[in-house]
């Protein structure tokens, strides 16, 4: 089972709340947030971590103070103690997406911006580059970002980041089916691509087949209120137990 959570950062209200919220995240994330020179990057990291912690608590997997987010040698975050809980996040501008699944998962979101399509030669395989070149002119940029996010979702599912050569595999389209051709990484993969946010592309790659993945839009205000409520409720329940 795979679900996608989507949230748009509200820059106006997050500024005043960030000091309170950093109390609830790991030291590692707190230090990263402090090290960023660009405020948007800090808020992306902060809200992404609050979102994943919220989902873990909401699903009754762990309480906030029990959550230890580890990273593999290539930087992919995971929960060490929960082998059946997989997640992956992506951010672009003010949008944050997070996929959670019972199997390995990767997700990517990108803002569609004008780009010289020739840069695709650097990271698309021959067949992928041909796919873009052969597209009708008004769709080339669309196809470019479809491929980009599908490739990213795939490498993020595998978890090796840019330690994989982007030309060592090809994303292919056959009618409605999307699949990967790769001699080097013979993985079980299912792909999904989405155009649900205007001017953004999003793609998902999972090891588990599902006809459709539920998509949950969360408002930042609700996330923060529910997150703090969940922490307070769990702490209250614990202290009532110790009083017994
Ligand atoms: C780091 C990378 C995994 C994703 O980078 P990105 O697209 O810039 O960033 P996204 O917002 O999609 O994802 C970042 C999140 O992915 C996760 N992540 C980090 N390393 C990861 C890895 N090895 N595998 C999976 N997920 C990873 C983290 O949660 C990270 O969030 P954080 O920075 O708040 O910790 C890597 O694939 C990369 O550098 N990609 C850009 C390469 C490129 O030029 N692609 C061309 C088109 S194919």
193 Cβ closer than 6 Å to some ligand 1 atom = no
Predicted confidence (pLDDT) at residue 188 exceeds the cutoff of 90: no
Compute CA distances 70 → 81, 87, 144, 242, whole Å.
10, 12, 33, 30
78 Cβ closer than 6 Å to some ligand 1 atom = no
40 plus 83 within the same structural domain: yes
d(CA 136, CA 132): 9
69 Cβ closer than 6 Å to some ligand 1 atom = no
Tell the residue nearest (CA) to atom 15 of ligand 1. 90
69 plus 148 within the same structural domain: no
Total domains in the fold of the chain:
2
Predicted confidence (pLDDT) at residue 238 exceeds the cutoff of 80: no
pLDDT per position as a tens digit, 55-94: 999 999 999 999 999 999 999 999 988 989 999 999 999 9
Q: Name the CA radius of gyration of the chain, rounded.
A: 19
H helix or E strand, kind and range, residue 200: strand 200-206
Tell the residue nearest (CA) to atom 33 of ligand 1. 45
The answer to whether 47 and 40 have CB atoms below 8 angstroms apart is no
d(CA 39, CA 35): 10
10 plus 92 within the same structural domain: yes
In this structure, the strands spanning 215-218 and 2-8 are parallel
- Domain residues for 178? 111-207
74 Cβ closer than 6 Å to some ligand 1 atom = yes
What pLDDT score does 13 carry? Answer: 86
Q: How remote is the CA of residue 156 from the centroid of ligand 1, in Å?
A: 7
Q: How remote is the CA of residue 203 from the centroid of ligand 1, in Å?
A: 13
Q: How remote is the CA of residue 100 from the centroid of ligand 1, in Å?
A: 16
What pLDDT score does 156 carry? Answer: 97
CB neighbourhood size of 88 (10 A): 25
pLDDT per position as a tens digit, 83-137: 899 999 999 999 999 999 999 999 999 999 999 999 989 989 999 999 999 999 9
- Can you tell me which atom of ligand 1 is nearest the CA of 158? 24
Tell me the CATH number at 82. Answer: 3.90.470.20
In this structure, the strands spanning 2-8 and 95-101 are antiparallel
195 plus 231 within the same structural domain: no
222: helix, coil or strand? helix
200 plus 218 within the same structural domain: no
161 Cβ closer than 6 Å to some ligand 1 atom = yes
Predicted confidence (pLDDT) at residue 183 exceeds the cutoff of 80: no
The answer to whether 4 and 99 have CB atoms below 8 angstroms apart is yes
Predicted confidence (pLDDT) at residue 212 exceeds the cutoff of 60: yes
Give this prediction's pTM: 0.94
Number of alpha carbons in the 13 Å side-chain half-sphere of residue 219: 4
What pLDDT score does 240 carry? Answer: 55
Closest CA to 234 of 56, 94, 104, 52: 56
């Amino acid at each position: 089972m795979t679900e996608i959570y989507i949230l748009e950062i509200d820059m106006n209200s997050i500024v005043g709340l960030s000091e309170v919220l950093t109390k609830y995240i790991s030291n590692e994330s707190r230090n990263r947030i402090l090290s960023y020179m660009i405020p948007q990057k800090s808020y992306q990291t902060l809200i992404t971590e609050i979102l994943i912690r919220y989902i873990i608590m909401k699903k009754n997997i762990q309480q906030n103070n029990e959550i230890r987010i580890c990273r593999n040698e290539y930087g992919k975050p995971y929960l060490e103690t929960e082998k059946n809980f997989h997640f992956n996040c992506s951010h672009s501008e003010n949008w944050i997406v997070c996929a959670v699944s019972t199997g390995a998962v990767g997700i990517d979101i990108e803002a569609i911006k004008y780009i010289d399509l020739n840069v695709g030669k650097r990271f698309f395989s021959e067949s992928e580059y041909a796919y873009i070149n052969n597209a009708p002119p008004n769709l080339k940029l669309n196809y470019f970002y479809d491929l980009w996010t599908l490739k990213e979702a795939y490498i993020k599912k595998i978890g090796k980041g840019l330690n994989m050569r982007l030309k060592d595999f090809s994303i292919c389209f056959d009618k409605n089916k999307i699949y990967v051709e790769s001699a080097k990484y013979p993985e079980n993969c299912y792909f999904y691509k989405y155009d649900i946010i205007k001017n953004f592309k999003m793609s998902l790659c999972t090891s588990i087949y599902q006809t459709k993945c539920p998509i949950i839009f969360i408002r930042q205000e609700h996330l923060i209120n529910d997150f703090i409520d969940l922490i307070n409720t769990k702490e209250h329940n614990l202290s009532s137990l110790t009083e017994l």
